Amino acid sequence: MVELSGNLLYVAFICYLVATAFFGGAIRQKKGEAKRKEMNKWAKLAIVVTIIGFVAQIGYFITRWIAAGHAPVSNLFEFTTFFGMCLVGAFIVIYFMYKTPMLGLFTLPVAILIIAYASMFPREISPLIPALQSDWLHIHVTTAALGEAILAISFAAGLIYLVKNIDQTVKSKRTFWLEVTMYGIISVIGFIAVTVGFNVANYETEINYQDKNGVESTYEYQLPPVFGPDGGEVTKGNFEPLIETPALINSKKLNTLVWSLVAGLVLYWVTRLILRKRIGAALQPLTKNINLDLVDEISYRSVLIGFPVFTLGALIFAMIWAQIAWTRFWGWDPKEVWALITWLFYAAFLHLRLSKGWHGEKSAWLAVIGFVIIMFNLIVVNLVIAGLHSYAGS
């Protein structure tokens, strides 16, 4: 059952790759009515392949649930793949509402990167710790992931708006921050590349250390340890950490994050050298026929739908579960704090949109910043900061 589950996830991944290429064909410049019909056929083929991939990923989710005996959202691999599945599901619904192939060209690569990112983490099925043995695991985590996925659609639409609207011929703060966004996306690719590379080389380092409770523990590194635990001792491998970190910080996961950022930086500049222009400028011709008012509406509607879903999953259901598991509704755990920050940001988004008239580019920037906050919660909080939710980073 586990093998079948993995194969279905692989099928979904391939389908999303193929669908992205078809969406690219659907937005190519065409002339004449016959050509426009051909473009519509590309778009129809793209959405059909996307749906096939989505069904395959649902099959992955169900078969893994059967194999594990619980909802497969209990570690970083499972949660992130589920997040990617929800993102594709949200995209399919919104696509049938607006019929915009460009949204697929920007959304599916994000889902592909999220699934590829998840696959870099341990995929073994392990028993749930006592705090997770509750139906609220299914309710809280799945609803929170669904809310974040719908909000992520606003990021894709906002990014399309910015690529189309920002003048790429001049240097400005707008072009700079758009390129920073592109670098962030490429960093995920960098993380995947270095992880695969060192896995192929069978690299491994083990460091023994005492955690904050004085218990002997071991970190197993699959990437050379730039960061190591304070007072740790290398027991396997010959690479000594360059920097020691306090117990509050998970040095192994911080090491993974830093490697991702450095690899992303190298990959970004290699891409720039190949393109001989900013990445945003290279993408801009694809958005030539995009209706800015339409993508602005898609971005806004996504937040309007995703915000209440996220509120239910990440705050209300989370507090109910926290009361059951830890006998308190709120405890200022890093994950709880960033969920609150995410909620406050999107509440501010809607306030500025409805009360202050922040439409267009301002709204697009807010959508991009909101997704950065979501990814910070998913990546940095899980990989670096120790807390009650640290199990999610295993």
> In this structure, are 281 and 389 located in the same domain?
yes
Per-range mean pLDDT, top range of 70-74, 94-98, 207-211: 94-98
> In this structure, are 269 and 300 located in the same domain?
no
Both tokens of 318, joined, read 């989370």
> In this structure, are 347 and 387 located in the same domain?
yes
Domain boundary among 230, 254, 276: 276
> In this structure, are 10 and 146 located in the same domain?
yes
- Taking each helix axis from N to C end, the angle separating 360-375 and 292-310, rounded to the nearest 10 degrees, works out to 40
Concatenating the DSSP letter of every residue in 132-152 gives G-STHIIIIIHHHHHHHHHHH
> In this structure, are 281 and 241 located in the same domain?
no
Q: pLDDT band for 388, please (50, 70, 90 cuts).
A: low
Domain boundary among 242, 276, 310: 276
**DSSP at 193:** H
> In this structure, are 244 and 381 located in the same domain?
no
Q: pLDDT band for 266, please (50, 70, 90 cuts).
A: very high
* pLDDT tens digit sequence for 127-178: 766 666 677 777 888 899 999 999 999 999 999 999 999 988 888 899 999 9
> In this structure, are 26 and 163 located in the same domain?
yes
Rounded CA separation 390/394 (Å): 7
> In this structure, are 181 and 255 located in the same domain?
yes
> In this structure, are 29 and 140 located in the same domain?
yes
**Cα–Cα–Cα angle for 2, 190, 377, rounded to 5 degrees:** 70
* pLDDT tens digit sequence for 316-336: 988 887 787 767 777 777 788
> In the predicted model, is pLDDT for residue 39 greater than 80?
no
Mean pLDDT of the residues in the chain? 84
Rounded CA separation 330/336 (Å): 8
> In this structure, are 162 and 180 located in the same domain?
no
* pLDDT tens digit sequence for 187-228: 888 878 888 888 788 888 888 887 766 678 888 888 888 888
Distance in angstroms between the alpha carbons of the first and the last residue of the chain = 22
> In this structure, are 160 and 191 located in the same domain?
no
Range of the domain at 383: 2-168+277-393
* CB distance 98 to 2 below 8 Å: no
> In the predicted model, is pLDDT for residue 248 greater than 50?
yes
Q: pLDDT band for 386, please (50, 70, 90 cuts).
A: low
> In this structure, are 379 and 237 located in the same domain?
no
Backbone angles phi, psi at 163, to 5 degrees: -60, -40
Instruction: Give pLDDT, residue 393.
Output: 43
User: Is the pTM for the entire model greater than 0.75?
Assistant: yes
How many structural domains is the chain composed of?
Answer: 2
Rounded CA separation 51/29 (Å): 25
Domain boundary among 253, 276, 299: 276
According to DSSP, the β-strands at 227-229 and 243-245 are: parallel
> In the predicted model, is pLDDT for residue 88 greater than 70?
yes
Instruction: Give pLDDT, residue 165.
Output: 92
